[in-house]
């Protein structure tokens, strides 16, 4: 995965996608052997029954195949560090899918290529000639990422000693279409045609392509599928496999899994799926993707020459609706001929478009929205936001830093004068000078430290921009307030060259002596920090709006807001108006952003009785959590079952999770099935049954009434940091109920059920370390309909994760958590009434490493 560096220009309305296992060029370093399994594996966040490498970076699972009694797990691996880079294939094996032995590096990167994601097969018929029929070769089909050109093509490597040593095929690549976005081949034997079948992604086109081969070397194009379903990011790591429906072997459907980043249901990375038929050439989904939104009263369709009684400010919206052609402009998904579009050749213009006031009388307001992903920030100011009166500590208008001390190469000898060479335009600073560590690009690092000063006001205000790498991460780009050697406040940019106000409340630090440290330790994309106008004031500065949003205002306050997805495709959105019936409201479309994707598109506002559903909401998701990506399945499992595993992380913050000396873990392997749920065929999953072999002591609880509030489960006898929980609740009076796990010292991870919305949810906003990235805290939800008035849960809790399986596995949420080692409590809770626990069995879980 690569974050776009600050000097990179983003084409108009091309998704600025984070790309798993893609376009960074790095220096080849000789791989190190994997660490010995004798490591203690007792680090604070070390998974105990999920696979993680002894050290260094891990992401996508690759090459999943069973051979001679071993399940092989290859994976994207950096042998030289704990952040993404030097992509190679790591290797582990297991006899039962839960106890893993880490092996030495399998397929290393070299001076020419990085070894990106792919799959492995056993060539039993020796179609390649790499082995023999008595000793067939294990063949890896992987994506070669060419370091000199960025081109991606499919290549082979083979092993004749059960995957322990590998040889790259001299005829590589075997499939090259001249693309930089062509990756992640999943290969399997397709018996009806006695040939190999490859499923591979055309990532930025949001397509999956199918190829056929007799020998893994020469490939014939069969067909393409897509775009369909969720398309808010690049498509990666596809997988195609058959499954019986409801266990009936005479009724088989095919499942196509397509991982997407960003644009997942919970934000960032995710895995979606399609159910349909495959005839050896073409995949045809049961759902063709068509959608008719609820009918209603059209409030504004933007089909006229002007905006009617809607008012404009600024220059972003012109004198009337736009009328772009669907192709080749990249704009699509609008209704009729006209729409609101604040893009006028570039993103420099700003303004607002506001409806006439209206009385809220319908339950929902449905509309279409597209353009930039820049959400509304509560409390922000539309337009200029001047600094409050106060004492300026530094304005960086001089030629030098004066009494501030610089180290390293990032800060130079004095403040920058605006934008530096190769950088997108810098804006939002005061005057002409500022701190700007994009000196020579993002490779430079260093610190800038102020002299000590007394915290003599209620607030410290400062303008901050640049990269989003928080203070607690391995490679921060941050501004810190340090008191007695301890960082007590910190701020970072938002991956933007526009500086904005940050205000720190100093009420608990009054009179203390402090200093400011500006830190740039990041050499990757957005690896720089911007700072200006540091001042003490009794009034907090309010951030300037940088939103591209559609807002609903009631009594002058924004009560609902929607933004685009960094896409030229407009999609349905809906505001729930039921709490605002009879009130006066206005719709305001806002463009206050001048950076990349700094525009908004909107169309077709309809007052309706039911909400419209976006493509994101209509898509089928393998997992509704934040941390399940690059999900692929094993080939040739001896029991005939389909087992799947995913990378337990998210590209939004993957480089920043607070683990060491490793970074990255895999989910628990899962047994997949197709079941009819609510009249629809759904992909369901449960942890592999062999997880039970790691169970320790059991605590059982039966027939318990839970009053409003929370209580320890079994008086604390079930507490633990690694647990396997099975529970059944009967719906009673409570609005929400469930478990709180890993509790202690103000920390908790809430795993609950919302009776009104019929949703399973995980709330990790207080789960320990959550401040290392702004996209980490949050609540993830999955729809779950009660069965016979009951909710059934299976929960796996590990030292840094929770995996929640609701019902018969139709609702799954996987989330990382980073609680303190002393937070090991488990509690029952109920809100809005009394809940009823029928049964709970809680097992303490042992480490698979013994």
Residue among 60, 123, 442, 655 flagged as catalytic: 60
Strands 70-78 and 88-94: antiparallel
**Where do we find the tokens 């419209």?**
612
Q: Tell whether the torsion through CA atoms of 650, 652, 654 and 656 is positive or negative.
A: negative
Q: Phi first, then psi: what are they for 188, rounded to 5°?
A: -150, 160
Residue 308 forms beta bridges with which residues?
A: none
Pairwise CA distance, residues 778 & 767, whole Å: 10
d(CA 35, CA 45): 18
> Which tokens sit at 45?
């966040």
Any idea of the CA torsion for 105, 47, 691, 849, to the nearest 10 degrees?
Answer: 60
Query: Which tokens hold the place of 264?
Result: 């997942």
**Rounded CA separation 779/111 (Å):** 43
Q: Which of 543, 616, 540, 544 is nearest to 573 (CA)?
A: 616
Give the separation between CA 203 and CA 143, rounded to whole angstroms. 13
Nearby residues of 549 by Cβ (< 8 Å), 6 or more positions away: 374, 375, 376, 561, 562, 563, 589, 590, 600
Strand partners for 284: 277
Measure the CA–CA gap between 716 and 52, rounded to whole angstroms.
29
Residue 616 parent element (H or E): helix 615-618
Closest alpha carbon to 274 in 266, 282, 286, 263: 286
Contact 546, 347 (CB under 8 A): no
Which residues lie below 8 Å from residue 344, measured CB to CB, with a gap of 6+? 315, 316, 318
Tell me the torsion sign for CA atoms 198, 199, 201, 202. Answer: positive
- For residues 268 and 216, give the distance between their C-alpha atoms in angstroms, rounded to a whole number: 34
Neighbours of 258 (CB within 10 A): 29
Active site residue 60: yes
Q: Is the dihedral of CA 414, 420, 426, 431 positive or negative?
A: positive
**DSSP output for 490-515:** EEE--SEEEEEEEEEE-GGGTT-EEE
Alpha-carbon gap, residue 261 to 13, rounded angstroms: 16
| Residues with active-site annotation | 60
């Amino acid at each position: 995965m690569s974050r776009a560096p600050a000097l990179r220009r983003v084409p108009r309305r091309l998704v600025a996608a984070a790309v798993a296992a893609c376009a960074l060029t790095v220096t080849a370093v000789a791989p190190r052997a994997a660490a010995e399994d004798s490591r203690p594996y007792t680090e604070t966040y070390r998974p105990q029954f999920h696979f993680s490498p002894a050290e260094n970076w891990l992401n996508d699972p690759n090459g999943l195949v069973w051979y001679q009694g071993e399940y092989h797990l290859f994976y994207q691996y950096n042998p030289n560090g704990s952040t993404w880079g030097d992509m190679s294939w790591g290797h582990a094996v297991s006899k039962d899918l839960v106890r893993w032995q880490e092996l030495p590096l399998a397929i290393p990167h070299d001076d020419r290529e990085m070894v990106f994601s792919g799959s492995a097969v056993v060539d039993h018929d020796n179609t390649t000639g790499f082995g023999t029929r008595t000793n067939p070769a294990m063949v890896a089909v992987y994506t070669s990422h060419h370091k000199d050109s960025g081109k991606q093509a499919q290549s082979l490597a083979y092993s004749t000693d059960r995957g322990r040593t590998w040889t790259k095929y001299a005829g590589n690549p075997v499939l090259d279409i001249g693309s930089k976005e062509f990756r992640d081949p999943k290969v399997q034997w397709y018996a009806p045609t006695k040939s190999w079948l490859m499923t591979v992604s055309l990532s930025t086109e949001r397509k999956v392509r199918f190829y056929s081969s007799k020998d893994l070397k020469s490939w014939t194009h069969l067909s393409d599928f897509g775009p369909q379903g969720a398309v808010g990011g690049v498509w990666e790591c596809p997988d195609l496999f058959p499954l019986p429906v409801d266990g009936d072997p005479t009724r088989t459907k095919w499942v196509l899994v397509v991982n997407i980043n960003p644009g997942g249901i919970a934000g960032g990375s995710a895995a979606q799926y399609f159910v349909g038929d495959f005839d050896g050439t073409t995949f045809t989904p049961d759902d063709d993707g068509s959608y008719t939104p609820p009918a209603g009263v059209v409030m504004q369709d933007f089909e006229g020459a002007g905006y009617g009684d809607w008012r404009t400010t600024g220059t972003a919206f012109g004198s009337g609706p736009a009328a772009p052609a669907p192709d080749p402009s990249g704009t699509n998904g609008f209704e009729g001929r006209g729409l609101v579009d604040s893009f006028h050749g570039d993103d420099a213009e700003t303004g607002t478009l506001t409806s006439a006031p209206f009385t809220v009388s319908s339950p929902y307001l449905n509309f279409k929205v597209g353009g930039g992903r820049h959400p509304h920030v509560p409390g922000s100011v539309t337009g200029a936001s001047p600094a409050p009166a106060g004492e300026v500590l530094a304005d960086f208008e001089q030629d030098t830093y004066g009494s501030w001390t610089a180290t390293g190469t990032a800060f130079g000898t004095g403040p920058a004068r605006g934008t530096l060479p190769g950088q997108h335009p810098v804006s939002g600073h005061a005057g002409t000078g500022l701190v700007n560590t994009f000196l020579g690009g993002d490779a430079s690092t260093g610190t800038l430290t102020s002299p000590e000063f007394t915290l003599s006001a209620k607030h410290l205000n400062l303008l901050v921009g640049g990269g989003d790498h928080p203070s607690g991460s391995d490679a921060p780009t941050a501004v810190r307030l340090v008191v007695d050697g301890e960082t007590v406040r910190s701020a970072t940019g938002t991956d933007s060259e526009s500086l904005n106000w940050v205000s720190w409340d100093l009420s608990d630090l009054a009179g203390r002596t402090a200093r400011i440290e500006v830190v740039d330790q990041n050499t990757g994309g957005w690896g720089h920090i911007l700072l200006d106008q540091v001042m003490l004031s009794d009034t907090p500065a309010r951030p300037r709006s940088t939103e591209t949003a559609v807002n609903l205002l009631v009594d002058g306050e924004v009560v609902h807001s929607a933004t685009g997805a960094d896409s030229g495709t407009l999609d349905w959105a809906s505001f729930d108006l039921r709490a605002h019936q009879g009130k006066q409201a206005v719709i305001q479309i806002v463009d206050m952003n001048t950076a990349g994707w700094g525009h908004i598109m909107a169309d077709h506002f309809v007052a309706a009785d039911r909400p419209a559903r976006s493509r994101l909401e209509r898509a089928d998701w393998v997992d509704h959590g934040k941390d399940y990506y690059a999900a692929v399945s094993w080939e040739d499992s001896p029991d005939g079952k389909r087992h799947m595993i995913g990378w337990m992380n998210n590209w939004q913050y993957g480089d920043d999770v607070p683990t060491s000396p490793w970074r990255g873990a895999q989910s628990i392997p899962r047994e997949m099935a197709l079941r009819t749920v609510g009249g629809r065929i759904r992909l369901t999953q449960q942890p592999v049954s062999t997880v039970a072999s790691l169970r320790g002591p059991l605590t059982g609880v039966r027939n318990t009434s839970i009053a409003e509030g929370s209580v320890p489960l079994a008086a604390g006898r079930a507490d633990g940091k690694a647990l396997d929980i099975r529970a059944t609740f009967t719906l009673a009076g409570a609005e929400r109920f469930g478990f709180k796990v890993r509790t202690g010292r103000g920390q908790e991870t809430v795993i609950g059920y919302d009776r009104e919305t019929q949703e399973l949810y995980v709330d990790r906003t207080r789960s320990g370390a959550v401040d290392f990235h702004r996209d980490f805290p949050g609540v993830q939800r999955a729809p779950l309909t009660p069965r016979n008035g009951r909710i059934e849960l299976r929960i796996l809790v590990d030292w840094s994760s929770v995996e929640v399986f609701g019902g018969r596995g139709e609702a799954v949420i996987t989330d990382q958590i980073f609680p303190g080692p002393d937070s090991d409590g488990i509690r029952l809770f109920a809100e809005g009434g009394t809940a009823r626990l029928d049964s709970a069995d809680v097992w303490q879980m042992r480490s698979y490493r013994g």
